[in-house]
């Protein structure tokens, strides 16, 4: 066998890497994201004459990031910093795996730095915004009265669960009937990393879910020919009686955004999660409890939400203003002296 036949091609390495993650039972979404990023990376490497893994170098990784920063997006503008960062992160994970598996003899990621991402300000919901979201859950139009009522209650249950429990969009659509404990008001959630966790939900958050499950879900299920509920059945159903998927949730929030009239703010499942975290942290709930509620592995991510509530920051600043401290430290009345004309 020639030396060339013994060398590992980029495409073969990518195939092995994806197989490793499938064997590791990573989510389909994770594997798909790696596949899209790595195939794009492989196509670019081919265009610059790189076929084998042992030809990869640090300069290729940096040139790939530079290429992405100049690559137009579907809308015609440049790719966002966050998108470029995600592509670079997945390539670094891939190369780390190559190094760990000793497919690459000399490490190339040691001095590879991920591109910086601009931390944009993302305004959170206010209580008034939440009220508008619930009002926007009302369904009208082409459906029968019975159907409109069922979908309206379902929509309110979805918004209530997302805002009150803080679970992720994928965790919501993955809920089964057996995952809802009506006595303890606890949801059994399939978290990232293939972990299961019990997540509490308040009485106010659970009440719309209970109404949907006891009065309206059966009507939606019957549309798909199912008259008996089984414990493994999905909690949330679409208007054809089938399980509501990620695309269905995205479409729902697009409608809520338009109907609520909320301008200048994102209206999404993650925004509901963000609202839960910021309001609870501002109200004084322990960051450790919020961390567990949200399913974060460390406090680092949880603490990012602590800085998003401007109302809490304003109240804190009012209490500790250096100008107020200066005024409280003097016995003189008024606001001071020393006015004069500039010459």
Look at residue 300 and tell me whether its pLDDT is greater than 90.
no
Look at residue 339 and tell me whether its pLDDT is greater than 70.
no
- Distance of alpha carbon 297 from alpha carbon 294, whole angstroms: 9
What's the mean per-residue pLDDT of the chain? 88
Look at residue 336 and tell me whether its pLDDT is greater than 60.
no
**Percent with pLDDT over 90 in the chain:** 67
Domain residue extents for the chain: 3-100, 127-315
Average pLDDT over every residue of 190-205: 90
Cα-to-chain-centroid distance, residue 46: 33
What is the signed CA dihedral for 189, 147, 153, 269, rounded to 10 degrees? 50
pLDDT of residue 317: 72
Q: Which two tokens stand for residue 153?
A: 């209650």
Look at residue 118 and tell me whether its pLDDT is greater than 70.
yes
Look at residue 80 and tell me whether its pLDDT is greater than 50.
yes
Residue 295's region, left for phi above 0, alpha for psi from -120 to 50, else beta, is: left
- Name the pLDDT band for 332 (thresholds 50, 70, 90): very low
pTM of the model: 0.75
Domain 3-100 fold: DNA polymerase; domain 1 (1.10.150)
Please name the residues in contact with 269: beta carbons below 8 A apart, sequence gap of 6 or more.
162, 168, 169, 172, 249, 253
DSSP 123: P
pLDDT of residue 315: 72
Average pLDDT over every residue of 175-181: 96
The reply to whether domains 3-100 and 127-315 share a CATH topology is no
pLDDT of residue 304: 72
Class of the domain covering 127-315:
mainly alpha
């Amino acid at each position: 066998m020639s030396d060339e036949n013994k060398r590992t091609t980029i495409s073969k390495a990518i195939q092995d890497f994806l197989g490793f993650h499938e064997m590791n039972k990573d989510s389909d979404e994770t594997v798909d994201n790696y596949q899209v990023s790595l195939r794009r990376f492989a196509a670019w490497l081919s265009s610059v004459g790189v076929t084998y893994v042992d030809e990869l170098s640090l300069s290729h990784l940096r040139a790939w990031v530079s290429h992405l920063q100049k690559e137009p997006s579907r809308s015609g503008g440049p790719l966002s910093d966050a998108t470029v960062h995600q592509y670079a992160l997945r390539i670094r994970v891939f190369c780390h795996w190559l190094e760990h598996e000793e497919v690459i003899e000399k490490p190339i990621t040691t001095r590879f730095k991920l591109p910086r991402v601009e931390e944009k300000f993302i305004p959170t919901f206010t209580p008034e915004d939440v009220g508008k979201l619930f009002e926007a859950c009302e369904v009208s139009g082409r459906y029968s009265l019975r159907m409109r009522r069922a979908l309206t209650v379902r929509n309110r249950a979805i918004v209530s669960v997302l805002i009150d429990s803080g679970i992720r969009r994928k965790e919501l659509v993955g809920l089964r009937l057996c995952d809802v404990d009506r006595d303890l008001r606890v949801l059994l959630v399939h978290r990232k990393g293939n972990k299961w966790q019990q997540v509490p939900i308040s009485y106010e958050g659970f009440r719309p879910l209970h109404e949907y499950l006891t009065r309206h879900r059966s009507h939606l299920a019957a549309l798909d020919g199912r008259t008996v509920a089984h414990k493994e059945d999905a909690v949330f159903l679409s208007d054809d009686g089938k399980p509501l998927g990620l695309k269905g949730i995205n479409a729902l929030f697009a409608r809520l955004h338009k109907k609520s009239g909320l301008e200048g703010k994102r209206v999404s499942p993650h925004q509901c999660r963000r609202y839960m975290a910021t309001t609870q942290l501002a109200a004084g709930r322990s960051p450790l409890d919020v961390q567990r509620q949200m399913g974060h592995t460390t406090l680092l991510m949880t603490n990012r939400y602590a800085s998003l509530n401007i109302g809490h920051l304003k109240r804190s600043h009012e209490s500790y203003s250096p100008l107020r401290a200066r005024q409280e430290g003097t016995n003189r009345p008024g606001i001071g002296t020393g006015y004069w004309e500039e010459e």
